[in-house]
Structure 1
Amino acid sequence: MEVVNESKNITHLKVKKARKKHQTLFLHNFVRIAIIFSVLTIWQIGVNLQVIDSFLMGSPLGIWDETVRLVQSGQLFTDMFATLYGTILGFVIGSLVGSAVGLLLWYSQTFAKIIDPFVVALNGLPKIALAPMIIIWFGSGMTSKIALATLATFIVALLSAYQGTHQIDSNLVNLMKSLGASKGQIFKKVVIPSSLPWVISAFRLNIGFALIAVIGGEFISSDKGLGKMIFVAGNLFNLNVVWVGVLSLMVVAIILYVVISKMEKQLLPWETGNKQN
């Protein structure tokens, strides 16, 4: 009987905790929406009263009109897809390859020390400075944007993964060695799992780096993409379209961030559990 009552109490606590979590989430979202609505309302009132110059700042109603126009013409979806496609491919290639190379450097500390100055120098170099050369090599199409995003994310992923291998508990490695584990087995069972939080952390950073690289490439030379939309609209002083492009970029960033968060929950359930607690 006591076991049944205890089970009921545990279930009740879980339900109560889940309900409280949903209520908190609802409250936070309500406050966020209220803040956005307030800012847009004050902005539009300022434009109507001519306190805010719509030519220099745009207006919420003007942004809405341009959004409807771009959606109806299909241009917004075309440009958003082009930017999203280049960002995702560059992000995936650069992050995965960079993480793999960073983890594999654990095998040879000597080689890692030799290439360390080159990696640090390349990491400190603004990748957008290489955009003109990459566009000349790969053309003004999608390939050059993917190459830029790959380069921008590769170094960050490599450094983060390699740093993760330095944080591994040496006692655990020694224990594996004492049990007769090979270097490959240690790498598979200890190095990779222990470095995963660092790898995922680099993935989060690389969302922004990949977007910056792709948008920079689209600014310099491109026939489509949100960067091209913003660049052309800015030259025409059409601030409403610029805002549409900027807000669309925010949507793209949120989509990628949600994907990475879902990946983190699958790969690191203990990490997400600790964050919630």
Structure 2
Amino acid sequence: MNFDLTTSSERPSTESGGNCVMRSSDEEEETQKHNNGRLSVQFDVNSLSLDRSPVRKVLDRVDLPVQIVRLVLLTLILWVWQSERIFDGVSLLGFEIFPEIPALFRGTPSGVWDYLTKIWDDSVFWADVKATSIEALLGFVYGSSGGIVVGLLLGRFRRLARVFAPFLIITNAAPKVAFAPILILWYGVDIGSKIALATIIVFFIVQIPVQAAVGGIDPDLDTVASSLGASQLQKFRLVVLPGILGPLFGALRLGSIYAILAAVFGEFIASKRGLGQRLISASNQFNFGAAFALILILALLALLFNFVMGVLERRFLRWQDDGGKGSVISL
């Protein structure tokens, strides 16, 4: 009697346990099937991405239709320029859009090419390129470094920003190129005056966006980081730095171009060497083929600076998509 009761009392629990085991095994099978399905989908997606040939990847990166349109536009511009028809004047609805240019003041692509081939082996020309590059590079480094430091300090410490705001606003409002004659008197006609001018111009181009970016960081992020015990260095690395990298690189791109402009402008006024001094000399001699060639060289130098900044931007902003990256010039 006791045996029967014990057996009958244990039987339901055993059966219920068996049901639980059966249900758990069914759930495991369904989960395994679901995971296998996800793996097969991921495998199919990966296989699709691997099917792209290296040639196809290069074509997608180059964006061939855009490059073809650019080449057609460049050919059209060079053809119109070489024909000199545009120098005869352009009028629209009775308004003179482009005046008639005398033959003495005209420059053509063939004249540009002739000048480039002539100076390619000229050591004095490469000395001028070196001088302008050093002036722009050092001015960019000094100005951007100062702009980053001051922007970070004024963005983080609001009271400090209120103290220095009037002085920075007045200095920024003044035309920076007006300092060029004064800087030449102070530093001389050598590269020092051009570096100083480029430094002043680049400083404000970088400082203002950095300060605005730091001030625009969500204060709740700083509060959360502090509550988790983050140090000031950790908060800067994990909160501040990711929040300012986008605006910072946009400012650095713009500053790299203006550094070259500042160096060339300083060379226009007084200089022993440099592309700006060579350009003003060619214009004074009515050698406009040489003048346009030097303008082209300066543009290529600016593109080189911008390319380097673009490489650094892609390196430090890999976590952003292409739409989130700022750019001034995009090739």
Q: Same fold (TM over 0.5)?
A: yes
Confirm or deny that 1:18 pairs with 2:18: no
The 1:69/1:172 distance shift into structure 2, 3 A limit, reads same
Which residue of 158, 176, 179 corresponds with 2:207? 158
Residue number in structure 2 paired with 1:132:
181
34-43 vs 233-242, which deviates more?
Answer: 34-43
Residue number in structure 2 paired with 1:28:
66
Deviations 1:35-85 (A, max 9, x none): 2222222322237x9897542221111111122222232333222221111
- Larger Rg: 1 or 2? 2
Which runs of 5 or more residues in structure 2 are unaligned?
1-38, 90-100, 326-331
**Could you tell me how far 1:103 is from its partner in structure 2?**
0.7
Q: Is the 8 A contact 1:156 1:206 kept in 2?
A: yes
134-143 vs 253-262, which deviates more?
Answer: 134-143
Residue number in structure 1 paired with 2:246:
197
Count of aligned positions: 274
**Could you tell me how far 1:92 is from its partner in structure 2?**
1.3
Residue number in structure 2 paired with 1:145:
194
Residue number in structure 1 paired with 2:48:
9
The normalised TM-score by structure 1 is: 0.89
Identity, % of aligned pairs?
31
Which residue of 86, 90, 95 corresponds with 2:144? 95
- Mapped partners of 2:44, 2:312: distance in 1: 37
Which residue of 255, 264, 273 corresponds with 2:313? 264
The normalised TM-score by structure 2 is: 0.75
Which residue of 203, 206, 211 corresponds with 2:255? 206
Q: Is the 8 A contact 1:149 1:211 kept in 2?
A: yes
- Mapped partners of 1:72, 1:50: distance in 2: 35
- Mapped partners of 1:122, 1:39: distance in 2: 41
The 1:191/1:8 distance shift into structure 2, 3 A limit, reads same
Q: Is the 8 A contact 1:122 1:155 kept in 2?
A: no
**Could you tell me how far 1:183 is from its partner in structure 2?**
3.7
For 2:46, the aligned partner's letter is S
- Mapped partners of 2:254, 2:299: distance in 1: 15
Residue number in structure 2 paired with 1:42:
80
CA RMSD in angstroms, aligned pairs only: 2.5
Confirm or deny that 1:179 pairs with 2:228: yes
Residue number in structure 2 paired with 1:217:
266
Q: Is the 8 A contact 2:156 2:215 kept in 1?
A: no
Deviations 1:227-261 (A, max 9, x none): 11111111122111110111011000110010010
- Mapped partners of 2:46, 2:296: distance in 1: 48
- Mapped partners of 1:90, 1:213: distance in 2: 9
The 1:209/1:72 distance shift into structure 2, 3 A limit, reads same
Q: Is the 8 A contact 1:103 1:192 kept in 2?
A: no
The 1:164/1:12 distance shift into structure 2, 3 A limit, reads same
For 2:166, the aligned partner's letter is P
Confirm or deny that 1:79 pairs with 2:128: yes
- Mapped partners of 1:135, 1:158: distance in 2: 24
Residue number in structure 1 paired with 2:11:
none
Confirm or deny that 1:232 pairs with 2:281: yes
For 2:224, the aligned partner's letter is L
Q: Is the 8 A contact 1:149 1:210 kept in 2?
A: yes
The 1:9/1:122 distance shift into structure 2, 3 A limit, reads same
The 1:4/1:50 distance shift into structure 2, 3 A limit, reads closer
190-199 vs 214-223, which deviates more?
Answer: 190-199
- Mapped partners of 1:25, 1:214: distance in 2: 34
For 2:73, the aligned partner's letter is I
Question: Relative to total residues, which structure has the larger helix share, 1 or 2?
Answer: 1
- Mapped partners of 1:119, 1:252: distance in 2: 30
Secondary structure at 1:271 match in 2: coil
The 1:254/1:19 distance shift into structure 2, 3 A limit, reads closer
Confirm or deny that 1:254 pairs with 2:303: yes
Residue number in structure 2 paired with 1:169:
218
Q: Is the 8 A contact 1:91 1:207 kept in 2?
A: yes
104-113 vs 253-262, which deviates more?
Answer: 104-113
Which runs of 5 or more residues in structure 1 are unaligned?
none
**Could you tell me how far 1:165 is from its partner in structure 2?**
0.5
**Could you tell me how far 1:177 is from its partner in structure 2?**
1.9
